[in-house]
A = this chain, B = another copy of it.
């Protein structure tokens, strides 16, 4: 097929609407095909989405019609034709084809429109990515991630890439991936927070956003071995300010996804009415109030015990927006959390629980900024003081109140997309015994 001088080469579906009435040429994959023998409807996928090309038998050469007849799902093709406005199309246009060519004919594509088991699909993750739901989920993920970058960039945060290879096994090695580092032991990071705190003393408002790792022998829909986490850390931000930042952040992201990922949410059949309620202010309850709610609802949790999935679900179901639970018992929270001035048994920590059963999506706290208090906490937790010397230095030289939180991206994307299993929220999930492809 020779390219006529008048055809514009289009590399993204989204450009098409700018070319209404014009002759274009584009290459892509056959997502789906219907043909009556006289007219064929080809769903062609390339960057930006899928466009329908309509080809009448009389409008194309014999050779092209033969190609249209024999083309299969996931073959690569080149289509030429005129862009026509079409109000029924999600992209507003379709292509009236006058040329068609198979670039590579696909045979026996493993994933067919019939139902496949998840194990099979996971083994073929590299091909499963091409399915409409998977594409939609990954586009939402991409939008969430850019939204996070923009949120912090617009607020003058400096991005601080925290290291993945870390020396200290701060809290036991049982859930850490270990590697040899030129004769020393190194571990894959579970959080960048400790590295952010010194950077906050340099630059005031900082964040990191990268992969984190947890070698946990658990096989649930809510766990991955490798996941991405965003963590802001802000100098001179105290607990009330942290609660406000958390709210603003989640409200911004939910609004952005509703605004910019409409088509993808439609593909995923997400009930967007539920997401439209995610507008600050969010309800805030203390841990103590949470225990009262749980007991009232028949859950026997005692003050001092941590929540599990069941407790999170009960609490979240009381509200139509995310609920912020604050001021937890120090006993089961991280050693670095600032004591609550109103009750020394509790700490200035927060968990944000998503509605609809998506569980805890954010955990944060004000950090202890007093050197001696932090030192005593490190000792009480039987942590190696030597390994924390540099972290203590942040309190020794210009101590400052500061706060931050962490959010796992996959859980957030699961909530936005309505997916029940985290494995579909990341391109190549790493799960128990599952590292291929």
On A, residues with C-beta under 8 Å from B are 11-12, 14, 27-30, 45-48, 74-76, 103-104, 106, 109-110, 126-127, 129-130, 134-135, 138-139, 141-142, 145-146, 149, 153, 156, 158-167, 177-184, 186, 188, 195, 198-199, 201-205, 210-211, 213, 215, 217, 225-226, 228, 234-237, 369, 390-391, 393-394, 396-400, 426-428, 430, 432-433, 435-437
Contact = CB atoms under 8 A, between A and B. Distances in A.
Contact of A46 (B30, B180, B204, B369): B204
A36 to B, nearest CB: 25
Contact of A211 (B134, B161, B184, B205): B161
Contact of A390 (B126, B179, B236): B126
A236 B162 CA distance: 35
A430 B165 contact: yes
Contacts of A183: 433
Given A47-B203, A179-B178, A226 B104 contact: no
Contacts of A186: 177, 435
A123 to B, nearest CB: 9
Given A47-B203, A158-B139, A198-B126, A167 B236 contact: no
Contacts of A202: 45, 129-130, 134-135, 138
7 contacts: A126-B390, A127-B198, A130-B202, A138-B199, A142-B158, A163-B427, A163-B435
Contacts of A159: 141-142, 145-146
A181 B432 CA distance: 8
Nearest to A14: B156
Nearest to A149: B149
B397 A127 contact: yes
Contact of A164 (B74, B138, B164, B400): B164
B211 A164 contact: yes
Given A129-B198, A236-B11, A397-B127, A182 B145 contact: no
Nearest to A430: B165
Contacts of A182: 215, 217, 432-433
A138 B211 contact: no
Contacts of A153: 146
Contacts of A400: 27, 29, 76, 103-104
A109 B201 CA distance: 14
Given A76-B399, A203-B47, A126 B236 contact: no
A399 B103 CA distance: 8
Contacts of A437: 195, 198, 390-391
A398 B106 contact: yes
Nearest to A178: B179
B204 A129 contact: no
